[in-house]
A and B are shown apart, each in its own frame.
Chain A
Amino acid sequence: MGKLMVWVGVAVAVTVRFVFAAMGAQERLGRRVEIVTPVTSLKRLAEGQWFKQLGLSPYAGSAYHGSPLLLALLGPMTTVGTGGQTSSRFHSRHVLVMTNLLGALLLLKMGNLVESANVYYLGKLLPDSKKSKPSVKTQVNDIRGHGKLGLGEVAALLYLVNPFTVAVCVGGTTSPVENVLVLLALYGALKGNSPLAAFGWAMSTHLSMYPAVLLIPISILMVAGPDKPQRKLFDHVNKIKTSNPKLKEKKMVGTTSTVQLQWARYRDFLLFSALWWIAILGLSAAALGGYEHLKEMLIETYGFILHVEDLSPNLGLFWYFFTEVFTHFRDFFIMVFHANILFVLVPLTIRLHHRPLFLAYVMVAITTMLKSYPSIGDAAISLGLLGLCTPELADFRFSFFVLNGYLVVAILSPSMYNLWIWRGTGNANFYFAMSLVYACVQSILIVESVGTVIRYDRNLDRLSKLPVQVDSGAQPKED
């Protein structure tokens, strides 16, 4: 049943993409500023390819701002048969659909790993004796029991049929490629595959810079393994076990000695990261025709992202702010805006270090919100990762509000754009209001999911302490 649903879901997702593409949606979607940004535009990539073919730097003309490797990969597809643009679109569309499917597959695998880890750790934390009591473990199992779908299958289907993913895939941008590399890095880290994780991380950072912050969750994943309850809960359980001679023969769980810190694996990861970076820079230099072009590449990709040079409208907060802000303060505010991503990294890591995958989701969501050129393609991957955290987020409070927020943005932002640009009856403030709504919705989603996970951990704590308190005769106060 579950398998059938997955296959039906995949078939539907693929069909929808091809039907939309056959209906000529690429032309329409490829123009939407919510979908295409200056860094992910395939049209700009084609322009870069055109300059490259002329023997100029692909970054000439301030058109292309992506990686030379991506250009080498996708560039030839954009110019297949001069004049015949349909065939090139056909090819690049195939590639994008394939990357989407690969991303879904990675999410599926990751979901399976996370789910088995969940079952393992919760089983250790909440022994079978307490199964009669309402436990978190039953919540987890509920998902499988009712929907007959594994966590990975849910996440993969959520990612595949998400309208944002579909729109980005059909519209023709490079963000599916960036997304799949982020997923590859997380999958590799989860699996303990150092070269794969290093490749995914280095490549995704090379392509879009922001995944650099994922170094923290990937490191934790490599060292300490997937998401699990806090260690002190295991300490608590172990204390009970040691105090209870009946349970003494059972293995201690979650302590430093039992959770093997995979430092060797992490060392490999760092080593491979360095290797991949060298390879990436070397290949880029080869693609650009010399190491002296690497500086230009960095300026045109990272510099373009950090300096916010293109102020054309998008769903982010940067463009309008930096159009309006006085030049004198521009540098200061650029630093402040980017610092908003960096400043929360440490508190997040301290608080959620035991949940690296969730940490990765939060970081991706924050970058989605505070990117200089965000698109709904970034939302697509952050929502896909959200699917992996569904057990912990079961009692998310504002789900209706957030869902409607996304709907409002999806419907009203094109309308406002139309009013401003095409009809001329509105102005830029109309559209920027939608950007603000989008940022608000995302910030609510981020804050509330962090809060929910912290509440979940607190509940686990309480549940794990239950037997001790029962023994001592004190009842925990329910809230």
Chain B
Amino acid sequence: MAGNSSSKTNGARIDNSSRSAGCSSRRRGDEIRREAGDWQSMAFMLVRSMKRNSEAGAKKVEGLVAGARGCGDDVLLGNHLKAIVPTGSAIGQRCCNDRTMANNSFLTSGLRSRQVGASRAFVWGWFLCIVPFLISGCHSVADKGREEAFSEDLLIRPLSDGKVLNHFYFKNYLHTLGSAAHNHVFPKAISQLVRKFHISELELSFTQGRWNYERWGALDPVGSSNAKPSGVELWAEFDVPSDQVDPTWRNLTHALSGLFCASINFLESPAVVAAPSLVFGSRINKGASKEGHTANVRKSGVVRYGALPREAVCTENLTPWLKLLPCRDKAGIATLLDRPSVYKGYYHSLRVHVGRSQPGGAVILEQTLTLVLQPAQLRERGSKELPNWSLTSLFARKLEGRCPLAKSSHVLLELERPLVLSVERLAASKSEPAELSDEKSQQGRRNDKGRQVDVADNPAFHMSPYPDRVFVESQGSGDISQASSLMLDYDLQNHSSARPLNLAMLWKERVYWSSLRGPFRVSRFLIGSGNEKGSLAIELKRNFDLPVQDEVVAANDVEVTIFQVVAWYVRLYLHTLTARVDGNQVPLQNIITQMLVTPAEDRLSPAVLEVKLKLPRNVSIMSLTMDFDKEAGSVHVYTDNLLVPLATPDFSMPYNVITFTCTVLALYFGSLLNTLRRRIGEEERLAKRASGGKLKESISRFMEGKSATQKKLIKVSGVILIAGIAVAFNYALEYYQVL
């Protein structure tokens, strides 16, 4: 900012053309995810645009990677960027973005930007998390030697259906893990966890509610990477030999369940855990790999994924999460987290992400809380007006300053591009064509660009207080007249308990807009009825209302990766996999480029299906060759949980079942033996027995001629003999038992 002398702007700008040419690997994607009660399944897809002119691009990327290395000495900054951006090219670009803030000349040389020193500042931000570091970047460069760093941010975005998205973002940075015993800010629990279990990356989320991709958007950073499936989702990548991954995972689940008061330990069983290889995994490794040979580089088998779709999320999870923050909820942005307000929302997702800047490098802990709240407002029924809101109406609190331990503390209000467009249209209908902008840049640019509309006070809404800064995202190549999304920045440094921040938005007129939707609408459903058989279908519907900037993407093939976990008790017949494009069945090999199958084992492991599809934009571009090695970013779209009704036995009377079955078996066995025992010569033998056996004959012969007393004696001695034998047998038995 300091170096940007051309105008009094509050940001920096890079022309978009450099991005589209050099770093054309853009992120697109959807991740689908559903679970259902007992059966847990997930579909997950990444949609990638494919690069057309890979050769030209590769050269650019090299340059950019070099740029990235050039600014890599800024550990904090570099690491952060690596952690969130998968590609080398993107790293370079973003890193340089950052540098632009500090030193414009770097941008010129590194990126060959066409419009250096553009009059209006611009921050290209796919990720919200970039923004605070754009601001805090200078600090962090200055505090290069520091071991730990903490920053807190809150992003607020009005949604088109009147709800308000609140995204809390806390970032904690620990340079070296070794001295974990002396952490000041970084939570000890996490550093110990990372050290003990050799975690390369870990993500844990507690979610309640469902992210509405259609209304709340899928392309923005919040929708694409923070929208999580309901329940608990955990995935982790370990830096251990592959034979130790499972025990480590088991221990990790136990540790986390203790740490977050959740039943994560249920994920220890390998029957519910998948080992994905295409979809999840370290962004670090993906990003850090050379020349974008990313997918192949990553070690396979060290990632574990598990989800508990039924886990209820409550304050008992929030409290330990807050405990990880240096100021807890006593100061700073976290003070807003009033429990009743948090839990009355439509969507609520608590997330912990632990990453490393590089294998064995600095530990970065990101904690986010995404809330979609409905502003409470008294209004007549059926009113279409957007409800006004303020921090007090949403959270019943005001922001009374920052957390003293935080390096930076910002509240950002995001106005999406479609919203900005509608507001401008509204303003234009009222007067002449206008552009939404902040007051200061208005003054500077009034000459070039007709009338400006104030960002904080325009025909559509009124914001109070006035933002400290405004960031503008630029649009398609160089055409700055087009609407772009705005980021209104409130620095909490300027606020205190004496001067609390109560951000408020008052709608003056009804504005209609829709959030950016993903390239595909994904739905997953079951075909068939009854509890026996059925089919699982995943449907991708193209969203044709993609904005202008996505035309480059739209013209190319789209790569989609579907990740589907199916519990073993739902048996998938993978050979019945068929694909249809526009209703016509097509051979699988035409659209499937890669397929990884981990078959289920009964009671042991779920089936994991990862399919990489190449979907043609239209049939004429089918023959496009594509570059596998380029790793593009992705949008994750989780589909809804799917409840598969299973045929269940009646467990009410197990004893009846056991007795009935055993009776049938006994009947069979007994009557068969009985039948077999009956002999043909039975009559003869019976007759023989009646006339007396040989023993009886000999006894009677022995008794012949003996006196009565002799006979008596013989009988008595016989009884004594038998009794003696019995006693001896008993003794022998006892002796044997003693032995």
Contact = CB atoms under 8 A, between A and B. Distances in A.
Interface stretch (A47-55, A94-102, A204-212, A238-246): A47-55
Interface residues of A, number: 59
B675 A447 contact: yes
B668 A439 contact: yes
Interface stretch (B99-107, B434-442, B571-579): B571-579
Interface stretch (A137-145, A150-158, A337-345): A337-345
A309 interface: yes
A446 B668 contact: yes
A432 B657 contact: yes
A2 B599 CA distance: 54
B664 A443 contact: yes
A427 B649 CA distance: 7
A46 B574 CA distance: 9
A323 B649 contact: yes
Interface string B629-656: 0000000000000000001111101101
A346 to B, nearest CB: 10
B690 interface: no
A62 B600 contact: yes
B669 interface: yes
A439 B600 contact: no
A420 interface: yes
A428 interface: yes
A43 interface: yes
Interface string A417-461: 000111010011100100010011001001100110010011001
A454 B648 CA distance: 44
B675 A317 contact: no
B658 A324 contact: yes
Contact of B648 (A63, A83, A428): A428
A428 B650 contact: yes
Given A83-B585, A351-B676, A447 B601 contact: no
A447 B597 contact: no
A326 B572 CA distance: 28
Interface string A37-62: 00000011011011100101000111
B661 A321 contact: yes
A56 B585 CA distance: 26
Interface in B186-231: none
Contact of A447 (B568, B654, B671, B677): B671
A230 B653 CA distance: 49
Interface in B567-611: 568, 571-575, 578, 585, 587-588, 597, 599-603, 607
A369 B664 CA distance: 11
Contact of A436 (B568, B601, B661, B673): B661
Contacts of A293: none
Contacts of B647: 312-313, 420-421, 428
Interface residues of B, number: 47
A313 B647 CA distance: 9
B691 interface: no
B578 A310 contact: no
B649 A324 contact: yes
A443 B668 contact: yes
A326 B655 CA distance: 10
Contacts of B665: 317, 337, 340
Nearest to A429: B650
B672 A63 contact: no
Interface centre among A50, A313, A446, A447, by most chain B C-beta atoms within 10 angstroms, is: A447
A272 B358 CA distance: 65
A420 B531 CA distance: 9
A454 to B, nearest CB: 7
Interface centre among A50, A62, A344, A436, by most chain B C-beta atoms within 10 angstroms, is: A62
B536 interface: no
B587 A47 contact: no
B573 A63 contact: yes
A43 B673 CA distance: 40
B676 A348 contact: yes
B529 interface: yes
B734 interface: no
Interface in B550-572: 568, 571-572
B667 interface: yes
B127 interface: no
A340 B573 CA distance: 34
Interface string A195-238: 00000000000000000000000000000000000100000000
A320 interface: yes
Interface in A164-178: none
Contacts of B568: 62
B658 A61 contact: no
Contacts of B654: 324-326
Given A324-B649, A439-B668, A450-B676, A51 B599 contact: yes
Interface centre among A56, A324, A337, A458, by most chain B C-beta atoms within 10 angstroms, is: A324
A336 to B, nearest CB: 8
A257 interface: no
Nearest to B668: A443
A427 B650 contact: yes
B689 interface: no
A344 B599 contact: no
B548 interface: no
A253 to B, nearest CB: 19
Contacts of B585: 83
Contacts of A458: 680
Interface string A303-340: 00000011011000100110111100000000001001
B678 A454 contact: yes
A61 B661 contact: no
A311 to B, nearest CB: 8
Contact of B658 (A325, A420, A421, A454): A325
Given A324-B649, A421-B530, A421-B531, A61 B664 contact: no
A310 B600 CA distance: 13
B581 to A, nearest CB: 14
Given A50-B574, A422-B529, A320 B657 contact: yes
A340 B666 CA distance: 9
B683 to A, nearest CB: 9
B648 to A, nearest CB: 7
Contacts of A230: 680
A347 B575 contact: no
A310 B601 CA distance: 11
A62 B649 contact: no
Interface centre among B533, B603, B657, by most chain A C-beta atoms within 10 angstroms, is: B657
A421 B532 contact: yes
B599 A436 contact: no
A443 B665 CA distance: 9
Given A61-B574, A421-B530, A428 B649 contact: yes
A479 B298 CA distance: 86
A265 interface: no
A424 to B, nearest CB: 7
Interface string A79-91: 1001100000000
Contacts of B731: none
A424 B650 CA distance: 12
B597 A422 contact: no
Contacts of B667: 440, 443
Nearest to B603: A309
B300 to A, nearest CB: 16
B512 interface: no
A292 to B, nearest CB: 18
Given A54-B597, A309-B602, A344 B661 contact: no
12 contacts: A46-B573, A50-B574, A51-B597, A61-B572, A62-B571, A344-B672, A347-B677, A348-B676, A422-B531, A428-B647, A436-B664, A443-B671
Given A63-B599, A344-B673, A458-B680, 9 more contacts: A54-B597, A62-B568, A83-B585, A312-B647, A321-B658, A422-B532, A428-B649, A450-B675, A451-B675
The 6 closest A-B pairs by CB, nearest first: A61-B599, A50-B575, A443-B668, A324-B654, A60-B599, A428-B649
